Amino acid sequence: MKRLERFQTIFLIAGIGFFLLSFLGMGLAPWTTLKGLQLPEGMTARTPEEEQGREIFMQEACWHCHTQFVRPVAGESLRYGPVSTAEEHALEIPQLFGTRRVGPDLARESGKRSDDWQLAHLYNPRGTVPWSIMPAFPWMFEEKDGQLVPTDKARALVAYIQSIGRNTADQMKAANDDYRRNFVAGHAPEKSDALLERGHYLYARECSGCHGKTGNADGISAKLLVPAAANLTKIQPSAEYIYTILNTGIPGSAMPHFRDYKPEDLWAISFYVQTLSPETDIASTGSDMSSSLLERGKQQFAALCATCHGPSGAGDGPVGAALVPSPPAFTKLRPTTDHILKILETGVPGTAMVPFAQLPEEDRQALAYFVRQLSEGKVQ
Amino acid sequence: MDSDKAVVSGPLVRAYTYVALAGILVPLFFALILAAKFVWPDFLGTVAWLQFGRLRVFHTNGVIFGWLGVSFFAILNYVIPKLSNRPLLSEKLAWWTLWVLVLAMAVGLGAILGGDMQAIEYAEFPWYGDILFAAGFVMATINYLGTIFMSEEKQLYVSSWYFILGFAFTVLNYVMANTIVAYVAPGAAGAAITGLWIHNAVGLFVTPMGVGIVYFMIPIILQKPVYSHLISLIGFWTLAFFYPLGGAHHYFFSPIPWWVQVLAVPLTAVLFVVVVSVVYNWLMTLRGSWGEVASSPALTFIVTGVFAYMATCTQGPFHAFLSVQKVIHFTDWVVAHAHLALFGAFTYWNIGSLLYIWPKVTGRELVSRRMQWWAYWTMTLGFYIFYFIPLTASGLIQGYDWISGQPFAESVVQSGSFWMFRMISGILMYLGMVLFTIVLIKTACSKKGASHEAA
């Protein structure tokens, strides 16, 4: 009878039995209730490229720092977007919910940022987000004829990232557009040294990746962003203009919005950005001024520029209103003459701004002179 | 338990121990690089196989399987023959098991560094690594359970209950994760089952092995019986029944059906009974013997681990409350909690146990008690002062930063100095582990002294 006293079989049965109990009760039972889930509208099956991107996402263990579900608590729907549902994940094998969030959740990433932002971020995250501690993936890019080119791997990964939660992308874009259209800057706080210092700190932390430490857009990401980041040493913007862009972002470009920052912080950045362009008055155009030059510029502007930039230069021309990214408002910034001349010569790749190199030199000078007048009295 | 028969194979225990030491020193070294990358993200940033994600997965899998798994087996190669009063079912099988496990580690961890892995936490080995590891694990299971089942001893000691439960459960759990989760169960259903796997890899493998070993070590080192058989029974059966059911708590507030999440709250909270009963049993056994604990590095490691076990298993049920979960989930708090369990408790138990076993399997007295104490204090101060406390704090900061609606950047920027502390802790913990390794190796190489028993 001594074998009986050991009861060893009971423990073996316990091991197998309790496993089965947990699997049936807490695994199979919920699975059964989830059977037959329909994908929500807009959540199409992944393309082969997106599927390849998901493989890379798994193999580089991206999911260990980026979760993929928005919880109904802790204000997450304000930060990320609509709360995740079981339907949305009905095709995910294996699921990638994740358990740690070193970086932001990606469940609503689709359409949130432009492809070039995603690529530049992948190449070196500090190039777009200076405070980021995400690993860089330079081996997913190659040099070709002096150009930095993403490999198929990088493109597939970005395609996958842009597909995560695409069923809500339109809804989130519409909400964002509404916000942008209805945005009113409100009153700026009093400019102070403390505010400028805070602005400097935040500029270095949030903006310097793309716009460069000094504002001349020579950051790590410069090789990958199309359109390029604005050269902030050349535009002399009004604080309100910068503040508005920080709140709304520039759709169609890599410029995201930063409206999770307090208004005071965004004003601080705006004031600091103003200090990056050297102050030039209208007179210092580097060319002869005359009323005929001004008149010539005005005519050229009306003929060539106004459909997009608007008759008064406010960026509200009949064609301009439909453009993405929308054209800049010359009423709120005063680009330097050399900057305007350069853009007239090269255009702005990635936008509707085409080169006007065929224009006679004198017309271009006249345009530059005129455009600088548009902001008169408004830039401080 | 005592016998004059030589039932333990010294070379076998030693070989498993050496593999386990590699299993901690390599993943821990990579952990140092990981800690540095948190502070300097571009450190070694152009080398694909040193990418943060790959190293992180190498670290977790290496430590769980290569260190904890193999060192458990090293200790079981001593404990199970002793408890069963007979040699292992097959020593040859045990050697083969070791080689298969070494191959599984090399292939699985190599694949991870090469960028081929599954997206299942703690089961990232690709399918070919899974098959090798599963083969090794099944071989070990047959050998250890076979030994227990072939024993002529009249009674089955509480340690063996845990070993039988843990092996039977884990074979099935491992197969479930690498088949059903990897290839079949989608989305929220997959998450519910992943939760079971993650939870039970810790609760029904690491825990029963460790608890079984401590139930052996404390009485045998102190030469006195366990305090209460009844409490042993309560602790064991509460663990066996309730622990496997709480897996969904790893995905609270996720799209898993709400009733599963709601059930997981009490099913997790009840685990407080397990830790209270088991630790009470051990502490009552230790009562009156604290002098012996203080004078023995082996016992000090084990008892420090007991307190860490008590702390981490008290945290667990508390985490299951949704109001707590809302704050700490996804943060460093959980990372600190996991390390309190796997480093503070189980690693300490295994170090203490190996320090006790080593003289018996080498036939030599341990060298340098001083170095053992240095190992203890560098690891202990390094872990608690520079790891556990800072990461618990940064976890709270991250959680409340997010709730307060601040920009995400704040949670990263404000964690920076805490991550710096973690780097220091890593250096100290690594130093302690190296000292421990030196003690074992120097002992094995020392001149033969007093032999405790034929190996």
Q: What is the CATH number of the domain that holds A237?
A: 1.10.760.10
The pLDDT-based confidence of B315 (bands split at 50, 70, 90) is: very high
Tell me whether B38 touches chain A (CB under 8 Å). Answer: yes
pLDDT exceeding 70 applies to what percent of chain B?
97
Q: Collapse the DSSP code of B393 into the 3-class scheme (helix H, G, I; strand E, B; otherwise coil) and give the result.
A: helix
For B121, B288, B329, the CA distances from B247, given in Å and listed in that order, are: 13, 39, 15
Counting one residue from chain A and one from chain B, the pairs whose CB atoms sit within 8 A come to: 260
Paired tokens of B401? 């930063």
Q: Average pLDDT, stretch A348-372?
A: 93
Kindly state whether residue A20 falls inside one of the protein's structural domains. no
Q: How confident is the model at residue B4 (pLDDT cuts 50, 70, 90)?
A: very low
Does one domain contain both A99 and A152? yes
Place of tokens 């099956």: A45
- pLDDT of B362 > 80? The answer is yes
Contact A380, A239 (CB under 8 A): yes
Final residue of a structural domain among A169, A195, A215: A169
pLDDT, position A220: 87
3-class DSSP state of A42: coil
Gap from A43 CA to chain B (nearest CA, Å): 14
Same domain, A295 and A319: yes
Mutate to test the interface with B, among A102, A137, A220 (most CBs of B within 10 A): A102
Asked if residue A113 is part of any domain, the answer here is yes
Substitution target in A20, A31, A63 with the highest count of B β-carbons within 10 Å is A31
- Asked if B42 and A126 come within 8 Å (Cβ–Cβ), the reply is yes
The reply to whether A113 and A199 lie within a common domain is no
Cβ atoms within 10 Å of A289's Cβ, excluding its own: 11
Residues A207 and A265 in one domain: yes
B120: alpha, beta or left, given left = phi > 0 and alpha = psi -120 to 50?
A: beta
pLDDT tens, position by position, B284-310: 999 999 999 999 999 999 999 999 999
Closest C-alpha among A93, A173, A160, A92 to residue A122: A160
- Residues A296 and A189 occupy one common structural domain: no
Query: In chain A, what residues touch B56 (CB-CB under 8 Å)?
Result: 61, 64
**Interface pTM (ipTM) of the complex?**
0.94
Q: Does any domain span residue A200? A: yes
Q: Which of B30-34, B361-365, B445-449 has the lowest mean pLDDT?
A: B445-449
Residue pLDDT, tens place only, B113-126: 999 999 999 999 99
State whether A247 and A135 are in the same domain: no
CA–CA dist B297, B373 (Å, integer): 6
Interface of B with A in 349-378 (CB under 8 A): none
Residues 130-169 of A with CB under 8 A from B: 131-139
Q: Are residues A162 and A84 in the same domain?
A: yes
Same domain, A61 and A156: yes
Answer yes or no: do B405 and A78 touch at CB < 8 A: yes
- Whether A1 maps to a domain, the answer reads no
Q: What is the pLDDT of residue B449?
A: 62
Predicted local distance difference test score (pLDDT) of residue B452? 41
pLDDT value, residue A321? 87
Task: Indicate whether A291 pLDDT > 90.
Answer: no
Query: Is A186 within 8 Å of chain B by CB?
Result: no
**In this predicted model, what pLDDT tens digit does every residue of A37-57 receive, in sequence order?**
989 999 999 999 999 999 999
Half-sphere exposure of B81 (CA within 13 A, CB side): 25
Same domain, A163 and A67: yes
**Per-residue confidence (pLDDT) for residue A376, from 0 to 100:** 59
Residue B450 in contact with partner chain A when CB distance is under 8 A: no
The neighbouring-strand residues paired with B330 are A100
| pTM score of the predicted model | 0.95
DSSP assignment string, B149-163: HT---SS--HHHHHH
Q: Residue A144: beta bridge partners?
A: A147
Asked if the peptide bond before residue A325 counts as cis, ω within 30 degrees of 0, the response is yes
Six-digit token pair at A75?
A: 């204000």
Smallest CA–CA distance from A134 into chain B, residue: B41
Helices of type H across chain A: 2-6, 8-23, 29-34, 48-59, 76-79, 115-123, 152-163, 169-181, 193-202, 208-211, 239-248, 263-274, 291-300, 306-309, 337-346, 361-373
Q: Are A123 and A141 in contact (CB under 8 A)?
A: yes
Chain A residues whose beta carbon lies within 8 Å of the beta carbon of residue B154 = 2, 5-6
Q: Write the pLDDT tens digit of every residue in A204-233.
A: 999 999 999 999 999 889 899 999 999 999
CB atoms within 10 A of CB A147: 9
Q: Which residues between 260 and 289 in chain A have a beta carbon less than 8 angstroms from any beta carbon of chain B?
A: 260-261
What confidence tens digit (pLDDT) does each residue in B209-232 have?
Answer: 999 999 999 999 999 999 999 999
Question: In this complex, which of B116, B176, B185 lies closest to A31 when CB atoms are compared?
Answer: B185
The span from the first CA to the last CA of chain B, in angstroms, equals 17
pLDDT digits (tens, 9 = 90+) for B128-158: 999 999 999 999 999 999 999 999 999 999 9
B299 neighbors B352 (Cβ within 8 angstroms): yes
* Residues in CB range of A23: below 8 A, 6 or more apart: B172, B176, B193, B196
Q: Which residues of B touch A22 (CB under 8 A)?
A: 196, 200, 244-245, 247
**Residue A150 is inside which H or E element, if any?**
strand A147-150
- Which residue type, as a one-letter code, is found at position B250? H
Domain count across chain A: 3
Distance CA B74, CA A91 (A): 42
Q: CB neighbours of B154 closer than 8 A, spacing ≥ 6?
A: A2, A5, A6
User: Residue A6 — pLDDT band, cuts 50, 70, 90?
Assistant: confident
Torsion sign, CA atoms B319, B320, B321, B322: positive
Report CB contact under 8 Å: B186, A93.
Answer: yes
Query: Which of A144, A169, A194 is the C-terminal boundary of a domain?
Result: A169
Same domain, yes or no: A106 and A195: no
- Domain carrying residue A110: 48-169
CA-atom Rg of chain A in angstroms: 27
Same domain, A127 and A235: no
Q: Name which of A59, A128, A265 to mutate to probe chain B: the one with the most chain B Cβ atoms within 10 A of its Cβ.
A: A59
Q: d(Cα A328, Cα A320) in Å, to the nearest integer?
A: 9
Q: What confidence score (pLDDT) does residue A378 get?
A: 43
Nearest residue to B65 (alpha-carbon basis) of B128, B127, B20: B20
Average pLDDT rounded to a whole number, residues A196-207: 97
The tokens for B412 are 């990263």
Query: Considering only CA atoms, which of B283, B282, B296 is closest in space to residue B352?
Result: B296
Instruction: Check: CB of residue B84 under 8 Å from CB of residue B363.
Output: no
Domain final residue, candidates A117, A134, A169: A169
- Among A191, A13, A122, which Cα is nearest to B241's? A13
Q: Are B382 and B428 in contact (CB under 8 A)?
A: yes
Structural domain includes residue A91: yes
**Together in a domain, A266 and A298:** no
Chain A residues whose CB is inside 8 A of the B253 CB are 69, 71-73
The whole-number pLDDT of residue B450 equals 47
pLDDT at B3: 45
pLDDT at A375: 82
